[in-house]
Structure 1
Amino acid sequence: MNLYIDGRWVAAPDSAPVLDPATEEIIGMVPLAGADHLDQAVAAAVRGGRVWRDTPIADRTRILLTAAGLLTSRADQVARVMTTEQGKPLAEAKGEVLRVAGALRWDAEDARRAYGRIIPSAGDTVLSVRHEPIGPVAAFTPWNFPAGSPMRKIAGALSAGCSIVIKASEETPGTAVEIVRCFADAGLPAGALNLVFGDPATVSRHLIASPDIRLVAFTGSIPVGKLLASQAGAAMKPSLMELGGHAPVIVCADADPASAARAAVAAKFANAGQVCTSPSRFLVHRSVYDGFVAEFLSATAGIVVGNGLDDGVTMGPLANPRRLKAMEEFVADAVSRGATVETGGRRLDRPGFFFAPTVLTGVPGDALIMREEPFGPIAPITAFDDLDEALAIANSLPYGLAAYGFTRSSKTAEKLISGFEAGILSINHCGGSVHEAPSGGVKQSGYGREGGPEGLEAYLITKRVSHLLVD
C-alpha cells in the first residue's frame, strides 16, 4: 500500500498498522505522509488541476464514467477489502461500492449542466454569469464509510473540474486505494487526484495552510469540524462541513408501530450504528409505545452479529476499540439514571470489537445517550404524550443533520416537516442518501451540501463578466 501523488504510487518511510476489527489482527500497514509528501501532492494538484480544468467536458465525463464502470466491475473485490478493514457485512460493503459508482456517474453527467446565463443589458455590452472550478481541494474523510465518504468529495471535485488532495482514514486505507486505482486506470491526468494518509492533525493543518488549496471539505465529528473550519476561515478559504448528528425519530399516535419499528431497526443497526444519520433517539407516543417496543425487540432479536465476511451475518463489529468503550459508558450512564436494558448492553465475549445490539427503554432526557451521538448499536426509547413536546425534545440539541417521523396523517406529516430542525428528513421510512438530492446539516451539524445539483456548487465559483463590445 502506498500514497498516490502526481500519478504515481509513492512509498513512505513511516507507517502504522491496520487492524481487522473482527479479529483484531494486523492486516497491513498504512503509509504516513511527511511534510514533503504533502507539498508534492499540493504541487501536483496545482499542475494537474490546470490540465483537468482545461480538458473538454466531454472528455472529463468519459474518463469519470470509465472510472465508475471499473469500480462497478471490481465491486466484489473492493467490498471484501472494505469488510476486512472496517467490519461491515459484505453485502453492505458491496452495496456501498455500487452506490458510490452510481454517485460518480450522476455527478459526472450533472457537471455537463453547470450552466451560466446571459443577462439582458445595454446594447453594446454582453453581461454574463459563468461557473468555473474553484481550484485545488483538500478533503478529509472518516472510517465509517470507506468508499462513500471519499467518493463524495472526489466525485464532486473532479466533476466540477477541480483537482483534489484527499486524506482518507488511516483505519480504512485499502478501500480508498482501490477507488483511486479505478481513476488511475481510467486515464485521469496525473495530479488531478492525490491520496495521502498520515497524522490527521498534522496533515490537515499543513494542507489547509497551503496557499494553493482553495477549498476544504470534511466529513467527521463536530469538534474536529470546528477546528478545520476555523483554520480554513483564518486563511479566508471556503469549507464544506458534513458533521455529526443525533437523529430523532418521532413515532406519532396514529402511526403503525410495528412497521415503524421494523424500519427503525433496519436503519439503526446498519453499519453497527456507525452512521452520522443513524436514527439514535426514539420518541414514541405513549399510546403506541408498548407495541413499538415489542416489535423493535422482535426485529432486533433477528440480527446476526459476526464477521462481515461470513454468510448470514447482518451486523459486524464496531470499527475500533474506542467505540466499544464509548458504548459501555453510554449503557452504564443510562442504567444509573433509571433506564432498563431490554437486550444487549454488553461487549460480546469473543475476539474482535463486537458489541451486542442494544435496546434501552425508559431512558430519561438527562441520560448521556439522549444528549450525545452514540455512533454505535444502541437504541434508546422513551415515551411522549404531546407532539409539540416531542418536537421540542427533538430540536433541543445543537445537532441538525437527520430526523425521522412516522404518521398516517398528512397534516401531522406536514407539522413534522416544518417542525424538525434538520437538513435531511424522512417521513414513514428511514431513507438514506441518494445521488440526485442534497444531503447536509444545520446548526452544529455543518453547512454545505453533497449530492444533487447543490453538491457541485461548493466546487464552483460564480464569475460575473461584463463584456463591452468594441470594433
Structure 2
Amino acid sequence: MDTSYDADLALFIGGGWKIGEGRDSFPVVDPASGETIGEVPLASAADLDEALNAAEKAFPLWRATPAEARGAILRKGAALIRERSDMIARLLTLEQGKPIAEARSEVAGAAQMFDWCAEEATRVYGRTLVRPVGQRALVTRQPVGPVAVFTPWNFPVYLLAKKLSAALATGCSVIAKPPEETPGCTAALVRCLIDAGLPDGVLQLVHGVPDAVSRHLIASPVIRKVSFTGSVPVGRHLMRLAADGLKRVTMELGGHAPVLVFDDCDLDKTLDLVVPQKFRNAGQVCVSPTRFYVQESIYERFVEGFAARTHGVTTGHGLDAASTMGPLANVRRPGAIAALVEDAAAKGARVMAGGKRGNAGFFFQPTLLADVPDNADIMNNEPFGPVAVAAPFSTLEDAVAKANRLPFGLAAFAFTEGLRTANVLGDAIEAGMVGINTFAISSADAPFGGVKDSGFGSEGGTEGMDSYLVTKAIHMA
C-alpha cells in the first residue's frame, strides 16, 4: 500500500500560488498513522489583505461575465474534477482518513455540484410587475458581492464545492478558508477551477489560525456574505463578528440526528441500511444517524442485530481496500469519544459492541450503546464519531417527543411502512431535513440546512443560490 504524499501545499491569492517563503505553517497528519506528512503555509495579515483586494477588484468583472460563460467554466471545472478524481480522492484519504471508496464518492458529489450550479446560473430569474401603460416595474436578482466561506475537515472537498459552486455561479468572488488538516485535496479542487479558466482574483484559497483569519476577513467591508459549516459555538462566534458589519450569513451547524424505528418496518433491511450509514466516515458526519429510538416490541432484536453487524465493520487505513471504516480525523477525537462512552456506561448503558480506542493512529472501535439514559452526555452532545446510542420508545407521540427534545434540528430519520406515521413524522419532527426509509437527503438539487441551534439558510437547490443573491426592484415611469 503506497502512502506517499504529494500535494500542493500553498495559498492561492490574486491568481498566484504562494508557498512557505517564511510564513508560519501547520502540520498535515495522516490520521491512520499519526505521522506528519507535510506542512501547509499559513496566511499572514498581509496575505489576507491581498486576498481581500483581489476579491474586491475581480468582483465587478466576474459579475459582468455572462451567466453562460460562468457556467461553462464551472462545467469544465467539473470535468477536470472527474478526470483527476483518483488523485484528489487519494489526497483526501491520506489527510482525512476515510476509506478510498468514500473519498471517490465525495469527489464525484463535488463535480455534480458544479455541474448543477453551472446550469442553474442561467435560471436566476427576476419578474415584471403589472403596471399601467408606459410604466415598468422590474424585480432583478444580483450577486451579493465578495464572500468568505469557511469549511470543515469531515467532507473538505464536497462542502467546499457546495459553497464555491453556488457563489461562483451567481457572480460572486470568493475567499475560501478550508481546514488546515486537509489542504492538499482542497487545493486540488481549486486547481481544477483555475485550470478551467476562472479569472484571476475571482477565487482565493487561504489557510491560517481560524479565529485570526475569520476576524480579519469578516471585519473587512469588502466581504458582504459569510458562509460557514461547523460547530454551534463557532457558528455563534462568527455570527457576532458578522453582526458588526450587518453581513449576510448562512450557518450549517451541528446536529444530533434521531432515528425512529417503528415495529412495522422491515427490520433486517433497516439494519442493513442503518449500520453502514452510522459508521460512514467514522461517524464524522453532521447528519450521521446517532440517537436510535426503537419501538419496544422490536428493541432487543434491533440492538442485537445492530451489534452483530457492527462486529463486521473492518477498520484500517483508508487506502486499504479491505477497510470499511477509517480513523478519526485528529488526535483529539478518540479521547473525546472515549469520555462519552465511559460516561454513558457509568450511567447504566450497555456496551453492545466496541467502546475502545484503536492501537495506532486515531482509531476508535465502531461502537453501539444500548439502554442509554437521557442524562448521559452522549444523548445531549453530538459525539461526531463511530458511536450509535439506542433507547426504546412506546408510542408515536413518545418517539416524536424524544426526537425533538434537543435544541438541534439538522436532520432526522425514520423507518416505518405506515403511511399515516410517515405523514405525521414529516410534519412533527423539528429538523431541516427528514429522511423516511432513506438516508439520501443530500443532493445538488435539494436544499440542505437546519433549524434551531443547527443554523439557518440552505445550501444546494435553488435555495442555496438564493443566499448569494440580493433582490432589487426597479420602477420606471
TM-score, normalisation: structure 2: 0.97
Aligned partner (choices 8, 11, 18) of residue 19 of structure 2 = 11
**1:390 CA displacement:** 1.5
8 Å contact 1:258–1:291 — kept in the other structure?
A: no
Distance in 1 separating the partners of 2:403 and 2:419: 20
Partner of 1:399: 408
**1:253 CA displacement:** 2.2
Distance in 1 separating the partners of 2:315 and 2:13: 39
In structure 2, stretches of 5+ residues that fail to align are 1-8
Partner of 1:64: 74
- % same residue: 50
Distance in 2 separating the partners of 1:35 and 1:429: 46
Aligned partner (choices 455, 462, 465) of residue 453 of structure 1 = 462
Give the 5 Å matches for 1:23-42.
23-42=33-52
Q: State the one-letter code of the partner of 1:298.
A: A
Distance in 2 separating the partners of 1:379 and 1:283: 11
Q: How many pairs does the alignment contain?
A: 467
8 Å contact 2:434–2:441 — kept in the other structure?
A: no
8 Å contact 1:280–1:379 — kept in the other structure?
A: yes
TM-score, normalisation: structure 1: 0.98
Deviation readout 1:387-444 (Å, 9 max, x if unpaired): 2111111101100000000111100101111111000110012224111110000001
Partner of 1:167: 177
8 Å contact 1:17–1:27 — kept in the other structure?
A: yes
Partner of 1:235: 245
Distance in 2 separating the partners of 1:407 and 1:292: 14
1:409 and 2:431 matched: no
What do you get for the CA RMSD once the two structures are aligned?
Answer: 0.8
Partner of 1:269: 279
Aligned partner (choices 342, 357, 369) of residue 360 of structure 1 = 369
Deviation readout 1:289-345 (Å, 9 max, x if unpaired): 122112212221221100000111110000011111111011000001000111100
**1:262 CA displacement:** 1.8
Aligned partner (choices 51, 56, 67) of residue 46 of structure 1 = 56
Distance in 2 separating the partners of 1:428 and 1:288: 17
**1:146 CA displacement:** 1.3
Local SS of the residue matching 2:116: helix
1:279 and 2:289 matched: yes
Partner of 1:117: 127
Distance in 2 separating the partners of 1:180 and 1:343: 41
Give the 5 Å matches for 1:319-398.
319-349=329-359, 351-398=360-407
**1:47 CA displacement:** 1.2
Distance in 1 separating the partners of 2:162 and 2:438: 24
1:427 and 2:436 matched: yes
8 Å contact 1:261–1:293 — kept in the other structure?
A: no
1:465 and 2:453 matched: no
Distance in 2 separating the partners of 1:117 and 1:11: 47
Residue 347 and residue 295 in structure 1: after superposition, are their counterparts in 2 closer, same or farther (change >3 A)? same
8 Å contact 2:68–2:121 — kept in the other structure?
A: no
Local SS of the residue matching 2:285: coil
Partner of 2:4: none
Local SS of the residue matching 1:379: strand
In structure 1, stretches of 5+ residues that fail to align are none
1:299 and 2:323 matched: no
**1:257 CA displacement:** 2.0
Q: Which runs of 4 or more aligned residues in structure 1 lie more than 2 Å from their structure 2 counterparts after TM superposition?
A: none
Distance in 2 separating the partners of 1:380 and 1:431: 21
8 Å contact 1:262–1:295 — kept in the other structure?
A: no
8 Å contact 1:240–1:458 — kept in the other structure?
A: yes
Distance in 2 separating the partners of 1:291 and 1:342: 12
